[in-house]
Amino acid sequence: MSRTVLSLPGDGIGPEVMAQVRRVLDRIGGFQIEEGLVGGASYDAHGTPLTDDTMAAALKADAVLLGAVGGPKWDTLPFEVKPERGLLRLRKDMELFANLRPALVFDALAQASTLKTDLVRGLDLMIVRELTGGVYFGEPRGIEDIGGGERRGVNTQVYTTSEIVRVARVAFDLARKRDSRVCSVEKANVMESGLLWREEVQKLRDAEYTDVALSHMYADNCAMQLVRAPKQFDVIVTDNLFGDLLSDCAAMLTGSLGMLPSASLGAADANGRRKALYEPVHGSAPDIAGQDKANPMACILSASMMLRYSFDMAAEADLVDRACQDVLNAGIRTGDIVEPGMTPVGTAAMGDAVLAAMDRLSGG
Ligand code: NAD
Ligand code: IPM
Ligand code: MN
pLDDT, tens only, 288-342: 999 999 999 999 999 999 999 999 999 999 999 999 999 999 999 999 999 889 9
Distance CA 28, CA 26 (A): 5
Ligand lying nearest the CA atom of residue 68? 1
For residue 7, the enclosing domain spans 1-97+263-364
Asked whether 346 lines ligand 1 (CB < 6 A), one says: no
Which of 88, 131, 282 gets mutated to test ligand 2 (max ligand atoms within 8 A of its CB)? Answer: 88
Q: Count structural domains, the chain.
A: 2
Q: How far is the CA of 12 from the centre of ligand 3 (A)?
A: 16
pLDDT of residue 270: 87
Which atom of ligand 1 lies at the shortest distance from residue 287's CA? 11
Write down which residue in 203, 218, 253 finishes a domain: 253
| Residue 60: active-site member | no
Q: What are the tens digits of pLDDT across the range 54-94?
A: 999 999 999 999 999 999 999 999 999 999 999 999 999 99
CA distance readout (Å), 65 to 186, 259, 294, 319, 330: 29, 16, 17, 19, 28
Same-domain check for residues 128 and 247: yes
Start-to-end Cα distance in the chain: 25
Q: Is 269 annotated as a binding residue?
A: no
Nearest CA to ligand 1 atom 37: 283
Same-domain check for residues 245 and 196: yes
50 CB-side CA count, 13 A: 25
| Positions of the chain with pLDDT lower than 70, given as ranges | 364
Write down which residue in 198, 226, 253 finishes a domain: 253
Same-domain check for residues 269 and 248: no
pLDDT of residue 114: 85
Nearest CA to ligand 2 atom 5: 84
The pTM of this model reads 0.95
pLDDT of residue 1: 74
Nearest CA to ligand 2 atom 6: 84
| Residue 275: active-site member | no
